[in-house]
Amino acid sequence: GQNIDQPTEMTATEGAIVQINCTYQTSGFNGLFWYQQHAGEAPTFLSYNVLDGLEEKGRFSSFLSRSKGYSYLLLKELQMKDSASYLCAVLDSNYQLIWGAGTKLIIKP
C-alpha cells in the first residue's frame, strides 16, 4: 500500500529552527508537496520538489531525496504565526496526491 509518515506533533521555540520530516512509500513518484494548514482553515501551498536537493523560499526550505523516499521542511526564525499543521503529499505514478496526516507544530514564546 501507499504510505506517508510524518510526526504527529512537534514543539519549538520562537526564533528557533525546526525540521519536519516526511517519509513516503508510494507507487511511483511525480513530486512532493508541502502545505501549511492553520487550525480551522484550508491548506495553503508552501513548496513543490520533484528533483533531489534543497529548495529555499524565504524562511522556509524543503529538501528531497528520492532514493531514500524522504523529505523535510525546514522553518527558520520561527514566528508565533508559524503555529499550524504541515502536510506532506506525494504525487504517485497515476498523478494522484497521497496525503500524510500532517504534523502539528506548536511554537512557544
Partner 1 sequence: IAGITQAPTSQILAAGRRMTLRCTQDMRHNAMYWYRQDLGLGLRLIHYSNTAGTTGKGEVPDGYSVSRANTDDFPLTLASAVPSQTSVYFCASSDSGLTDTQYFGPGTRLTVL
Measured distance CA(23)–CA(100) in Å, rounded = 9
Residues binding partner 1 (CB under 8 A): 4, 30-31, 33, 41-45, 48, 50, 87, 89, 91, 95-102
Measured distance CA(47)–CA(70) in Å, rounded = 15
Grid coordinates belonging to 20: 519536519
Q: Is 35 within 8 Å of 44 (Cβ atoms)?
A: yes
**Residue 8 CB, nearest distance to partner 1 (Å)?**
8
**Residue 41 CB, nearest distance to partner 1 (Å)?**
7
Nearer to partner 1, 33 or 63 (CB): 33
**Residue 45 CB, nearest distance to partner 1 (Å)?**
5
